[in-house]
Amino acid sequence: MKQVTKILAILMLTGLFFAPISPTLWRGSQGLLYAIATTSTDFNPNYLISDAEMQDATCMNQADVQLFLTQYNSALANLILPDLNGVNKNASEIIYNAAVAHKINPKYLLVKLQKEQSLITETSPSQKQLDGATGYGITDACGWDCEMYKNNQGFGKQVDSAAGIIRWYYDNKQANDWIKKAGISYLVDGQTIIPANDATAFLYTYTPHLHGNLNFWNLWQNWFGYSIPDGSLVKSADSPTIYLIQDGKKRAIKSMAVLASRFDTDAILIIPSAEIAIYPAGTSISFPNYSILHNGNNYYLVDFDTVRPFANFDVVKQLGYNPGEFIDVTDVDISGYTLGQTIRIDTSNPTGRLVKIKGTNSIYYLKDGFYHAVYNADMAKAVFSNLSATSVESSELQNYQPGTITKFPDGTLISEQSSNSIYVIEKGKKRLIATEEVFNGFGYNKKNIIKVDAVLSSVHENGPAVYLPSRLLSINNNDATTTETDSVNGVQSGEEIQENGKMYTISENKTTYVGKKINTNVNTYLIAEYESGKILAGKNIDTVRPMASFVKVMTAYELMYEGLNLAGQTTFKNSLKSKYHSFKTTEGEIFSNKDLLDALLVSSINTPARMLVSSIEKNENKFIAKINNRAKEWGLKNTKFVDVDGYDIKNITTARDYLSLYTRAERVREVREALSKKQYVYHEIKDLNKTAKHSDVHSNLLVNKPGLPFKIISSKTGYLNEAGAGLVMLVERPKDGKQFIIITMGNPDYTHRFVEPERLANWSLTNF
């Protein structure tokens, strides 16, 4: 398994190693308090928090709860109050004990205390606020006079009851009809709510109002909804800019040279642009690590997030730096860096050195007069991949002071050899990635996981678990409300798709539906909200089918990701003909890449796919491997590619998988522009057969049909005998701008292949 290597592994070592020198680099549990600005437009009333989050009783210890109260200047931080049994205790202990006793997240209790009585931010609470701390027993019918409230009056009882009732809901949900349940429709304040999970259902049972649960969600997001762990490298699919997430900000990496000097590109996560936009911009990372900056008479060494001044130019010369490599900068250029320790002529190893003590397995990292223990050779390789250990006598360490033990840097993925649990390192702590859904949702890659033993794992204190916010859940993992069907790795029900010219069909007695059944001869359909990814209706959405030309969308995405220059040119060669070649061209003709992309996505012509791929990857099989890896990274378990144009029936997917694929790919600006075109006209750059002009209309004939009650934002067709006719469309309802994804696969009526997709789109507009 490939490990996280390169200089990414050294990220934040300065903060980790030199806490005795620079204690301000450590912030303890500060990450718990980072607040993201959210808006109610992000609010999905059907999904408030996950069940895993609701029941994570150990994510905060009592000290964490106390720190939270202290940093919010809450009066509760200093109050001694009666607990459930009337014993006086710190408020933080009461909260923590209730969470542990009922196996409910203490974060939930903190949010409840704020939502109901503003007790987290209240500096001088009234007795009434404390007595009704979590609103337990206070109902619309009788308010503060309710008998249930009177029986549970007081801070200790209120906190315990708030945790206890949620646990009771979990234990008794089947035996009591009045407890709201996941997947069932309820009318809440005039709006239909279908809770996606138990936690959401129970929150509506406790507080049967939209506004109250919106308040809960906003508080949860502001306090605990930050999503991307520190140390993560992220980019969106529609922008080349790569950011480092650090201390709640996004730091743009300004060049490939900077990236290569500090980071491992294998660790980049593809994150929705809307998610990245949440983070405020931090100082850009502008200079390669260990470069020398020149500003007037001053010289500096870039050492990650610090610039270290040289005592004078003689030190620069005597340490052997080449003046030709100096970078001239201004005061503004270095203003975002922390000023580090001065480098003098006697400064030892300013850029670090790795040593192994002769006759032992002991490894140390030496820097600036300190030595730092490295657990073993595997860790040395993972963290200091740019350094080779030199053998020294143990007496060498006498010249150094003891430093801190080496830990993995922020963003590193680790897993204990004896466990399947996966952690991400953040601020020296290991944060459990709660589920595979979370792992896939963030776009983590299993090849980057470092296997460690229990001892090395224990060096890193446990931090709060990592969860996937609801705003990412539907984008990367599809809809939580969807009825589960048998997983298909291949073809449903043990059947195989045969290359026999007959469309693969699921019989009615094996057909599965999601939501309201729609009578149609189309064998697979799916209707979803575009913004949230919520699946509204579907038929056989987990049935594996040939993708046909749906493949071209993934090919286009990967082409843009790999840096295809649309202003560039590609020459046609006979070796690039697709197995189904209908492109009007001859050997040696030259085309604009932008025009080839139109031919690929608007006309759905096969050969342009191979031509464009050849312009960035000579070995087409390597490109196919890349799009298969991309599918795995996105968690598309039932999607596989064997070519780049979709002609082979072994290109397979499901409607559920393709919903995720299409919504990701078409968000890339250049891909959407092509998929949205009604027609095109272009001329070859070099014409050899006197047919320089090419023109066509979109293969989705609905794009040019007048009078439709919806706007088609983007779409793609597909057809093979074994696949049937297929169509995916992003459509918009004009009156309110709401957008839907419509997917049809296995349409047996090729002649009238657009009738049913149009009907499904119209049905969606009137029913959702």
Lowest mean pLDDT among 32-41, 160-169, 535-544, 693-702: 32-41
Instruction: Give bridge partners of residue 403 from the DSSP assignment.
Output: none
In the Cβ-directed half-sphere of 631, how many Cα atoms lie within 13 Å? 25
Nearest one of 476, 420, 414 to 450, comparing CA atoms? 414
Structure-model confidence comparison of residues 273 and 564, the more confident one: 564
% pLDDT > 70, the chain: 90
Q: What is the mean pLDDT of residues 81-102?
A: 96
Question: For residue 263, what pLDDT band results from cuts at 50, 70 and 90?
Answer: confident
Instruction: Give bridge partners of residue 251 from the DSSP assignment.
Output: 244
Joined tokens for residue 672: 């959407």
Contact partners, residue 531, CB within 8 Å, separation at least 6: 739
Residues 333 and 430 in one domain: no
Helix (H) or strand (E) holding 149: helix 147-151
Residues 220 and 322 in one domain: no
CA 355 to CA 366: how far, in whole Å? 7
Helix 607-616 and helix 551-561, axial crossing angle in degrees, nearest 10: 20
Is the pLDDT at 478 greater than 70? The verdict is no
249, 282 contact by CB (below 8 A): yes
Question: Which pLDDT belongs to residue 551?
Answer: 97
Is the pLDDT at 238 greater than 80? The verdict is no
Residues 142 and 197 in one domain: yes
Question: Which pLDDT belongs to residue 470?
Answer: 52
Q: What is the CATH number of the domain that holds 393?
A: 3.30.2390.20
Tens of pLDDT, residue by residue over 530-586, are 988 899 999 999 999 999 999 999 999 999 988 899 999 999 999 999 988 888 899
Residues 434 and 582 in one domain: no
Residues 615 and 683 in one domain: yes
Question: Which pLDDT belongs to residue 432?
Answer: 86
Phi then psi for 529, rounded to 5 degrees?
Answer: -70, 135
Residues 566 and 601 in one domain: yes
Q: What is the CATH number of the domain that holds 731?
A: 3.40.710.10
Question: Which pLDDT belongs to residue 26?
Answer: 20
545, 653 contact by CB (below 8 A): yes
Question: In this structure, are strands 569-571 and 590-592 parallel, antiparallel, or unpaired?
Answer: antiparallel
Is the pLDDT at 482 greater than 80? The verdict is no
Q: How high does pLDDT run on average in the chain?
A: 85
- DSSP of 422-434, one letter per residue? EEEEETTEEEEB-
CA 723 to CA 701: how far, in whole Å? 19
Tens of pLDDT, residue by residue over 715-738, are 999 998 889 999 999 999 999 999
Question: For residue 499, what pLDDT band results from cuts at 50, 70 and 90?
Answer: low
Tens of pLDDT, residue by residue over 597-635, are 999 999 999 999 999 999 999 999 999 999 999 999 899
Residues 359 and 431 in one domain: no
Question: Which pLDDT belongs to residue 34?
Answer: 27
For residue 368, being part of any structural domain is answered with yes
Question: Which pLDDT belongs to residue 5?
Answer: 27
Give the domain extent around 300: 292-339
Residues 463 and 586 in one domain: no
Residues 306 and 389 in one domain: no
Is the pLDDT at 712 greater than 80? The verdict is yes
Joined tokens for residue 36: 């993201």
Tens of pLDDT, residue by residue over 104-145, are 999 999 999 999 999 999 999 999 999 999 999 998 889 899
CA 97 to CA 106: how far, in whole Å? 9
Question: Which pLDDT belongs to residue 493?
Answer: 33
For residue 497, being part of any structural domain is answered with no
Residues 668 and 637 in one domain: yes
CA 609 to CA 7: how far, in whole Å? 36
Residues 176 and 215 in one domain: yes
Residues 598 and 732 in one domain: yes
% pLDDT > 90, the chain: 58
Q: Give the number of domains in the chain.
A: 5
Is the pLDDT at 8 greater than 50? The verdict is no
For residue 671, being part of any structural domain is answered with yes
pTM: 0.46
